Amino acid sequence: MAKKGLCIGINNYPGTKMALKGCVNDATDWSKALATFDFDTQLLLDEEATKANIIEAISSLIEQSKEADSLVITFAGHGTYVVDSNGDEVDGLDEALCPYDIHSNQNALTDDEIRTLFDARKQGVSLLLISDSCHSGTVTRAAPSDDDEIRPRFMPVANWTSKDKLPEALSRGVRKKLVSGASVFKAGLNKDEGDLLLSGCEEGVYNYSYDGVINNRPCGAFTHYALKTLKKMKADATYADWHRAYSRYLPSSKYPQSPQIMGNKKARLRKIFT
């Protein structure tokens, strides 16, 4: 059984005025944590994490995996929306990840694309998906944060879409009252194969994963407390145990987010990183 990971962290989003500070640290920290559990991991940081490179890395991870392999993908960066193009979203919007080149290429990585990548997986390959980003908020432009330490990891459409494409995106998005705000990875989650999703916040309108500073170090609040508690977990601890442990720290007065765990009972009761 092979154990492989892909850790993505993006602070810099040229052209958007929506830079983050803790995502590269998060990806690096996840990679180090996975290494202690004998995972062979690949890092994609900032300019390395273009849409093309993210797709290539996920595709390679999936295609090279074999039955009984364990894969982990972590993402720390902005989430966003795009207008649904195939009618499969009740809110008219597809959740999406923001790659490094989202502004220059006008192209997010959508949940539909994630699903297609994951569908190529061989039977018996399990996935653990860790998302420290959010996909809920307003589709209108976001100004720079007043608090230099805290920022939601969500990028409104107007911060990366060109003006000639923006009116249609906004007109279709604003009309919809129901916004799922689901993690982009949820679309590719296969509960029958034992997949598990750990995300930094709840689904729905105005639920955010926060980029912040803890102990004078930029990080995602969810990632910080997940890794802090991981160090104290017993050798036979399960994902459910771990989720309960870091959920004691969140939500807090500074970081009002509620981490989520999604997967079947068997997956939740599996030993951490096995």
Burial 125-134 (b: 16+ CB within 10 A, else e): bbbbbbbbbb
CB-based contacts of 123: which residues, under 8 Å, 6+ apart?
67, 193
DSSP 187: G
How far apart (Å, rounded) are the C-alpha atoms in residues 253 and 131? 21
Encoding tokens for residue 27?
């990806």
How far apart (Å, rounded) are the C-alpha atoms in residues 13 and 170? 21
- Please list the active-site residues: 78, 134
DSSP code string of 120-161: TPPTT-EEEEEEE----S-SSPPPPPSSSS-EESB--GGGTS
Query: Residue 131's beta-bridge partner residues?
Result: 75, 199
* CA distances in angstroms from 269 to 5, 147, 236, 242, 243, listed in the order given: 21, 39, 10, 10, 11
Q: How many CB atoms lie within 10 A of CB 98?
A: 29
